[in-house]
Amino acid sequence: MATLLLTPEILVSIFLFFLFLCHWRWSKAQTITNWPLVGMLPGLLQNLSNVHEYFTWLLKHNGGTLEFKGPWFTSMNFMLTSDPMNVHNICSKNFSNYPKGPEFQEAFESLGDGIFNSDHDSWGYQRKLFHTLLKDNKYKVFFEEVVKGKVEKGLIPILDHVSSLGIEVDLQDVFQRFTFDSVCLTVLGHDPNCLSIEFPIVAHSKAFNEMEENSFYRHFVPKRWWKLQRKLQIGSEKKLLHGWKVLDEFVYECISTKRKETLKKEELKMDLFTSIVMEEQEGEMNSNITKSNKFLRDTTFNLLAAGRDTVSSGLTWFFWLVATHPLVEAKILEKIKEHLLDIGKLKDLNIDELSKLVYLHGVICESVRLFPPLPFYQKTSLQSDILPSGHSIKPNTKMVLSLYSMGRMESIWGQDCLEFKPERWISKHGRIVHVPSFKFIPFNAGPRTCLGKDMTFIQMKIIASTILWNYHVHMNEGHPVSPSFSIALHMKHGLKVRICKRFV
């Protein structure tokens, strides 16, 4: 065992670590130097706690695109960009040349062959399938019912509870519980009941967190290191495999239950699994693919990844921004009063009613512009290319698109780009201003544009309208607010608030 651990790579890593310590600058100045052997890694590590702002600073001072050089013995080199024309080229114009790539798929191998992790024909088939299912009116109605039911039976009781006791609550935790329950319900037809006043520890929800966090870790260490950890069953790989196993058991049990339910065909819900299994039984799908339990398992993992943390992150930053901008909150309430009240109470929050809240839509857009739920997108080039910025791209180059930085570029949004200004989204005629997706990219761009974009807005509007009309959200004084370094843009310390009812 000792011989295995003391490999040349590990010895070199130790040497480089001490070399790095020698050049450490505690001032954390925003500079980047391409050191011998270690490349630009010391600067990145030095600013890791503030990595999104660091990348933004670097991109602003390098014309929006930067070639990052990692240590010589690793595969940590990548091209970082926030240039909208480069984004347009990568995501749309030259889309076929920039798949997710094998390195991304290996890092997120727990997602299997699902839509988030797949390329080419497999991705194309799943994209078409989910487009059909998500646009079905029966599913849309079911989705609305799930969200409103979870608000009524889960969210409101919790907020009433913490309000009556006058205790602090972490809204980020509340929203993560909400979205985990709602995704499980809309995909599997199963409610894990994470969202309750007891704040229970749910094994498969915790397992998902472990799997996500430790998959992300793979991106920032040499591949041979995490593979060695996996072989030895230690460190982050041990946690990843544990979470993977627990979530697998949960999902496969749900699949087994769902198949039995569809055979009975009694009072079936319109969740995605029911739709898939029913259509395969009727011979309307490629049964060789969809009849596979692995396909259903991979689908669940991918939809959990797509729908749980993105929406909860969006809601968390939305409520922090609104709570710290009282004029914005007052205007949202004014529009709710104007469009959604019926004898002093909120109307049924359906799609038609919610579409009247143009200002709220603009607030959500402005929130995800500044704090995109996914701060980075990663692609890999298949062939050589020349970006619109003039940078040469070789085959197998890792491309990293910084969505966080794009929301902070004066060249895209003007000199007031750092301001929280929902009015930038409202036209003179009171309509939403259209911004091309390669400039406003939180929902991706081109062929991979998010299929759940409309549902995300519906869910966020229902939750935002309900909470803001019924409660005051007060930020705890002195609570630190900063983004975490993770797959989704969580708040590093959560969102600790106190809740008070508006109407007593």
Domain spans of the chain, in order of start: 1-93+373-406, 94-372+407-501
Using pLDDT thresholds of 50, 70 and 90, give the confidence band for residue 22.
very low
Kindly report the number of other CB atoms within 10 A of residue 277's CB atom. 22
Pick the CATH number of 94-372+407-501 from 3.30.70.100, 1.10.630.10, 3.10.20.600, 1.20.1420.20: 1.10.630.10
Q: Which residues contact 43 (CB under 8 A, 6 or more apart)?
A: 31, 32, 33, 54
Choice between 245 and 292, residue whose per-residue pLDDT is larger = 245
CA distance 294 to 252: 9
- Cα distance between residue 280 and residue 493, in whole Å: 45
Domain 1-93+373-406 falls in which CATH fold? 3.30.43
Question: How many of the other CB atoms lie within 10 Å of CB of 223?
Answer: 15
- Radius of gyration (Cα) for the chain, nearest Å? 23
What is the full DSSP assignment across 6-70? S-HHHHHHHHHHHHHHHT--TT--S----BTTTBTHHHHHHTGGGHHHHHHHHHHTTTTEEEE--
- Cβ density class 141-167: b for 16+ within 10 Å, e for less: ebbbebbbebbeebbeebbeebbeeee
pLDDT at 26: 37
State the DSSP code for 433.
P
Answer whether residue 71 shows pLDDT above 90: no
3-state secondary structure (DSSP) of residue 305: helix
Return the residue matching tokens 């997710």: 100
Give every CB contact of residue 13 below 8 A, 6+ residues apart in sequence: 222, 225
Residue 17's pLDDT band (cuts 50, 70, 90): low
Please state, in angstroms and rounded to a whole number, the distance separating the CA atoms of residues 282 and 275: 11
Q: How far is CA 250 from CA 253, 299, 310, in A?
A: 5, 14, 22
User: What is the average pLDDT value for the chain, to the nearest integer?
Assistant: 88
How far apart are alpha carbons 74 and 219 in whole angstroms?
11
Residues 6+ apart with CB under 8 A from 220: 76
pLDDT at 271 over 90: no
CB neighbour class for 425 (10 Å; exposed up to 12, middle 13-18, buried from 19): buried
Beta 168-170 vs 471-475: how paired, if at all?
Answer: unpaired
| Phi-psi category of residue 67: left, alpha or beta, with phi > 0 → left and psi -120 to 50 → alpha | beta
Residue-level pLDDT at 216: 84
The per-residue pLDDT for 5 is 42
pLDDT over threshold 80, residue 85: yes
pLDDT higher than 60, residue 13: no
Structural contact between residues 379 and 88, judged by C-beta atoms closer than 8 angstroms: no
- Residue 316 CA to residue 313 CA, distance in Å, equals 5
| Distances 476 to 156, 323, 480, 483, 494 between C-alpha atoms, Å | 21, 11, 9, 17, 11
Asked if 327 and 333 touch (Cβ cutoff 8 Å), the reply is no
- Any idea what the Cα angle at residue 235 is, between residues 230 and 237, rounded to 5°? 35
Per residue in 135-165, pLDDT (tens digit) is 888 899 999 999 999 999 999 999 999 999 9
> If we measure between CA atoms, which residue out of 167, 237, 233, 214 comes closest to residue 499?
167
14 — pLDDT class (breaks 50, 70, 90): very low
Banded pLDDT at 11 (limits 50, 70, 90): very low
- What's the pLDDT band for 37 if we cut at 50, 70, 90? confident
- For residue 501, report the phi and psi dihedrals to the nearest 5 degrees: -70, 140
What pTM value is reported for the model?
Answer: 0.91
- Alpha-helical runs (H) found in 80-119: 84-88, 102-107
Give the number of other CB atoms < 10 A from CB of residue 63.
14
Tokens of 431: 């309509």
pLDDT at residue 113 greater than cutoff 70: yes
Q: Are the C-beta atoms of residues 279 and 269 closer than 8 Å to each other?
A: no
Listed in order, strand segments (DSSP E) in 152-199 are: 168-170
Would you say 371 and 489 are in contact if contact means Cβ atoms under 8 Å apart?
yes
What letter does residue 39 receive in the DSSP assignment? B
pLDDT of the residue at 239: 93
The pair of structure tokens assigned to 458 is 């519906």
**485: its two tokens:** 């370094």
- DSSP at 434: P
| Measured distance CA(13)–CA(28) in Å, rounded | 22
Estimate the crossing angle of helix 326-339 against helix 453-470, to 10 degrees: 100
